[in-house]
Amino acid sequence: MEKAPVRNCALLTMKIVVSLFWVATAVGYSQNSPVPLRPIDEKRVAEIIPLLVDKPAGFGQPAHQREAWDQLMQSGAYDNFLKSMDNFVFPPFNEEDYFSLSNGTAPSSARGLNMMRNRAKGLAQVTWAECLENKGRYIKVIEEGLRDLINQKSWVSPRNDYEFKNYNGIEYSVELTTALYAHTISQTLYLLGHQLDPALRKEVIAEVYKRAFYPVLNKIKRQDNNRENRFLLMTNNYNHVCLAGVVGAALTLIEDKHERAVFTYIGEYYSQNGLVGFGDDGYCSEGIGYFNYGFGRFVQLRECIWQATEGKIDLYDNPKVRKIAWYPYKMEIAEGVYPTISDSGIGSLPDPLVMHYLNRSFQMGIDKYENTPLSGRTSDNRISVMAVFPNSASRKPFVPEKEKEDKQLRSFFDLSAVLIVRPPADSNCRLGAAMKGGDNKEHHNHNDVGAYTVALGTEIMAGDPGSIPYTADIFNEKYRYTYKTVGSYGHPVPLVAGIEQHAGKEARALILERNFSRQRDEISMDIASAYRVEELKQLERTMIYSRKGKGELSFTDRFVFADPQKFETAIITRCEWEKLSEHTFILKGRAERMKVTIHTGGAKYALRQEKIDEGGVPYNRIGICLDQPALTGEITINYQPI
């Protein structure tokens, strides 16, 4: 239901109580400080109980309430999906896939993880098919699928089933896949509960308690430091993904109001930790892909609690959330072009359903997000159901907002030192870029202080290479930066005295100067702290971006050593390249061409190409290496569209 105007003291008191909760938790814990593990606050739980609706409910409406479902069915948006479901077979559990990482038959957990997530996807799809058709022909396979899932030995990703405690039934824990299973199963029971075997429903609910609810409650009760169920204290995507699944399942399934209030409190309190992982300027260090995953689930969690309390508890009552909501819009270099910072995959785009919801929620006024098709997606039965049924965002009108010129020309995350520059609309310039400062303790960080991305039209011509497939050791600090793509070697940043950037918060960019105008943007950063080189006294990187004509872009590194040392920087590109002269070569994209010119102030250098292939899309590293050790010097790389 939409929030009603305040008409009585009781409702006003409820809103004050909610607001005071956020004030109280902010005292002693800044937005950059995680909240600690602590016992359930029964006083806060008692305040939540009267705010909850009487009965548990999930997203959408049960399938027997046909008006909305019939409209979806008649829309035609699901015709192809329903045809594809004619020969549906529930995806089986495969032990070989589950153990493929631990027994060494696969380099990563992808086989096992994909197998498990496909089973959740299968349940979601067959639930969609039955809700749309309402013929009963999928009920048997849904019941068989539910029985299969509750008998599945583990709901935990093989990477995180430590000592296989879940698989062997020793102890259960919650992580990303558990949360996915719990909420997907709960939505199925909510949407089709009237058609499912009551005895089976009882068994399924008991299993969700055992696998998802009790492990979280026990973690809080024991106040332990074990790695299981650590998501409560994590400040990356893990926090919001797990909370959304567990709390969403609880608000969908649990009849007892006190129990639902406990899980509402858990979501309200611990979701603050996930927000800590974002910059206070709204920047998401994990990149677009993980923004979709992590903040997309925060959106889901917010809507679960909003609906369960009819808007009386709103996780958006936090000014930082609005800043985070603008992150994808501000990161776009050109239409559909985003830098692949951190563990973002090539071509990662904001989730259209999430962006539509944020656009309405915060009345951002962005046409392309408003015009996103909401129906037709069936890969999950959570946010895709939420999107096509009335929700807190759909009740708000779309209010177009006239974009300011400076918002069109650039986006600057001042606290995170990340700059996006764009050409003016209706100009001959089609060149855009991103430059990243930040630090090397960011979530999913690639030791990339000072890295950049160059885009021409809709093609990325040079810059950050993005993610590679996750291997067994890629998150182990001992091995993570042995991967060139994760370490600074595979990024367009210097190699100083033969040494790469180091990890850690102290490796960070300091903005020295910035000057922005309609025709020209310039920013300079001190990036010396990213290198543990005793002889290094100064290392500054300056980006100059011109919007005149077709545009022009340059990056200059200026260095000073205590005594002469080797110095090298690099161009990272997936384009073919052709040398034209001693200092000039051409980058050849799919359709775009760009001239690259190198200036070293007369110092001699060599170009050294290396093809890097670590399981992702291969790329070229073109090293620009000074021939002789130098005391001081500079290297400028200039990019010009042809």
**To which H or E segment does residue 504 belong?**
strand 504-508
When pLDDT is averaged across residues 470-490 and rounded to a whole number, the result is: 91
Q: How far is CA 474 from the centre of its chain?
A: 18
Backbone CA torsion sign across 397, 403, 408, 413: negative
When pLDDT is averaged across residues 359-368 and rounded to a whole number, the result is: 93
Does residue 123 have a pLDDT over 90?
yes
The amino acid that residue 246 corresponds to is V
Average model confidence (pLDDT) for the chain? 93
End-to-end CA, the chain: 56
pLDDT at residue number 16: 42
- Identify the CA nearest to 437 among candidates 310, 573, 247, 283: 283
When pLDDT is averaged across residues 177-200 and rounded to a whole number, the result is: 97
When pLDDT is averaged across residues 76-90 and rounded to a whole number, the result is: 97
Does residue 13 have a pLDDT over 70?
no
- Identify the CA nearest to 350 among candidates 271, 293, 275: 293
Can you read off the two tokens belonging to residue 175? 């992580």
* 379-429 pLDDT per residue, tens: 999 999 999 999 999 998 888 875 555 568 999 999 999 999 999 988 999
Quote the pTM value. Answer: 0.92
Does residue 17 have a pLDDT over 60?
no
How many Å apart are CA 461 and CA 442, to the nearest integer? 25
* 269-283 pLDDT per residue, tens: 999 999 999 999 999
In percent, the amount of the chain with pLDDT more than 70 equals: 94
pLDDT at residue number 403: 55
How many Å apart are CA 181 and CA 197, to the nearest integer? 19
Question: What is the rounded (10 degree) CA torsion for 285, 287, 291, 293?
Answer: -120
- Identify the CA nearest to 526 among candidates 506, 499, 553: 506
pLDDT at residue number 19: 43
* 297-316 pLDDT per residue, tens: 999 999 999 999 999 999 99
Q: Between the CA of residue 480 and those of 233, 466, 509, 524, 536, what are the distances in Å?
A: 23, 15, 21, 29, 25
Does residue 24 have a pLDDT over 90?
no
266 contacts 247 by C-beta, under 8 angstroms: yes
Band of the pLDDT at 585, cuts 50, 70, 90?
A: very high
Band of the pLDDT at 21, cuts 50, 70, 90?
A: very low
pLDDT at residue number 3: 37
- Identify the CA nearest to 257 among candidates 56, 501, 440: 56
DSSP reduced 3-state for 496: strand
How many Å apart are CA 311 and CA 56, to the nearest integer? 15
How does strand 410-413 pair with strand 630-641?
unpaired
Q: State the angle between helix axes of 237-253 and 176-192 in degrees (0 to 180), rounded to the nearest 10.
A: 30
Q: Within 13 Å, how many C-alpha atoms sit on residue 296's CB side? A: 21
239 contacts 270 by C-beta, under 8 angstroms: yes
410 contacts 521 by C-beta, under 8 angstroms: yes
How many Å apart are CA 364 and CA 432, to the nearest integer? 23
When pLDDT is averaged across residues 233-253 and rounded to a whole number, the result is: 98
* 502-543 pLDDT per residue, tens: 999 999 999 999 999 999 999 999 999 999 999 999 999 999
Give the residue carrying structure tokens 């930790």.
273
How many Å apart are CA 78 and CA 568, to the nearest integer? 55
Band of the pLDDT at 137, cuts 50, 70, 90?
A: very high
Band of the pLDDT at 18, cuts 50, 70, 90?
A: very low
Which residues share a beta bridge with 434? 420, 453
Domains of the chain: 9-317+351-388 (1.50.10), 405-641 (2.70.98.70)
Does residue 268 have a pLDDT over 50?
yes
571 contacts 554 by C-beta, under 8 angstroms: no
